[in-house]
Structure 1
Amino acid sequence: MPPQAGPQPEDPASDRTARTGFWLVGARGGVATTAAVGWSALTRGLIGTTGLVTELPALAGAGLKDWDQFVLGGCELRPGRLRDSAAEAGIPPALIEACAADLDAIDARIAPGVVHNSGPAIDELADEQADGGLARRFPTPRAAVDAIRADLDRFREQQRLERVVVVVTASTEPPTDEPSLPPTWDELNATLTSTDCPLRAGSLYAIAAIESGAAFVNFTPSLGASCAAIDDLAKRSGVCHAGRDGKTGETLLKTVLAPMLASRNLEVMSWVGHNILGNADGRVLSSPEHKSSKLGCKDAALQSLLGYSPQSLVSIEYVPSLGERKTAWNHVHFRGFMGVEMTLQLTWQGHDSALAAPLVLDLARLVDASAGRGESGALGALACFFKSPCGAPLAGHSEQFAALLAHYA
């Protein structure tokens, strides 16, 4: 399949005021593909709404757009078809076939992705596709930003969209040296023409989205818009953004259980978590440089939730045979009354993309609503969706969910 020049036109007579574009970075990855099939199945009435936070009765009056008012597009480093990616993600063949026309239409709107300072594991994935891959590389960060912005502007115009929401679901990048970044947009912007700029592709997507007027969501542990200078740009531009690192499994449990233990005045002495998974995300995270970003997000909550720092260890191992079936095992060693020591052990076994994809759809819907309300900067009300939430302190899940309802319901 030859590289696509960019999103393709569709239905020029559509009503611009009725539709929001949903642009997925990493569009043929497991999470984005599952989100695309789920969106299609929802619009066709083929599945129920289990797993979707925005379908809870408490949010029925939030004024969120219907699923058929979204148009999906995106970018990707790999050639291929969403149908094939859906099969790899373990989606039932009958559902893939029922949604095939929608998936083919989305495929026609997938542009080549951008690789820039993305880390060795992502470079390796892109290089493997040298004979037919879609990866684009540019001499400077500013050139990459301008190319991404052109894709988004083309998508908006060709699909006659009122708004666009960009969601990064791509592979995890290595950490960015945040302390070295300037605090204001003017200072950071001045570095984008230099090859010494430390920003990675995920942050370039954030800048391009904001400059084009599109809302931005970072579902990965990568830096994205989570620095003062890019938030400064968002506020100046009147654009909202959310992130960082979707909270789908083990950390979700921590933000529920740690407040429970703290409220009973039980002393957590150690909390050990071991994760195994086998999809493309697992492969990238097998690289130590990339893994360190993920571990930092997964291990950040305990001190804030408990008020002290127990011994903590989080590990992630790549086991190819597991595919999307992720297992997280947690061992919590705590002390109770009269110094009696006890343990809590939990095993979370889930389908990685099926846990994440509905949250991606929810976030697109909620961020679209915030954009429609004229909100700008980091959306702290969406903290319940993230391990390292922008615009809000780390807190227990119940407190975060209450903030979500107070903001949108």
Structure 2
Amino acid sequence: MKNRPFFLLSFLMLVTASACNTLYNIKTIDIEIVEPSSMSISTEFRNIAIQYNNVNSSPNSYFNRYEEFGENKTEVENSDSIASHIYFENFIAKVNSQAFFDTLITLDEHDYSTVAVIDTIDYTPYFSEDSTSRKVLSPDQINVLNSGYFLKNSVKPVRTKNDSLIMHPQFGLYTPEQLQNIRNTTGADMLLSLDFFGALDGSYFDRRLEYANEQVTNWTQWSFYDLINMKYVLAYSKIDTVGWMEYAISQNKATTVLPPRNDAIYNAAEISAENYALTLVPHWVEVQRMYYNSGHVELQQADELVENGQWLEAAKLWRKQTKNENENIVAKCMFNLGLACEMEGDLEAALAWVVKSYHVFGQKNELHAQNSMEYIRLLSTRQADMKILERQFGE
């Protein structure tokens, strides 16, 4: 047995390597967390009125054109009008599902099918080169200017309209009397008005790269009115593109793998509406978290508890093992305790446990260091988000 010492040494090295590699044993779990909205609405506005006020309700010579595999076409149906209602209804549904506002009141829609919007406001004094005579635009006037400019360049009706609406110099598409009436009849603090919706679309095929692509770009404008102080708070224009990309060896194949044109337009309206709703209100999102598992008897029991959502019971087992002589087990359990604390809403304790877990090995174990630093980053982001959420919920 001349090779016995070599065999024992190899065996010991294999055991050691296996022990180090236990930090590769991970599981993932999906959890739900609350994220703040990117656009903050003041806490004084909790009763919201919302109105479909789309001035682009009749066929538009710009938005009724589309491209189909290199060929320019003009549609006969007014798909924008259908898509705009899908967009509006899905926006309301998504906002309601987050239960952020106290009330959300839907008003009767305005019909602009025969009404042309006219901006007669003279902005010359506000852009005069003579600084001594130049006037300063108020925030309301700036919103009217932005709204009027967007609508003038986007609304290009196919047919001449017989009626007209002259934009108000302070409130745009509304009059002070209309806004006051909404306030009095609904008790709303704020009005959200969908002033414009238009969809541009096209389908394309790249023969060289062998892929098919369909894109829908939704153009929207929303107006926000403070009904408490009777102010035009914001005219917000947004462009959102939704696309589908599929492998295709020919143009004929491309037509079968891409969604039908109308389906794409209507689905894109749903997606854009839901995405925009989530920029306005705090919302629940599903995220993924990792934790360590192990062949250790008690840690296997902890895995079963986690699968049943019994985080406090699992945490008791992990905490007990933080005194284990095996550093791998200690690092794992400390990391897992961080996740247990996050699940219980204690982000500060979660961060402390993950930092402790990192310091068991520091940079000596690259994989664990990377896992720990990534989780520390996520927890730090969540801590910052919680401070924003407290302001958004008025706590």
TM above 0.5, yes or no, is: no
Give the strand-richer structure, 1 or 2.
Answer: 2
**Bigger Cα Rg:** 2
TM-score bucket (shorter structure):
under 0.3
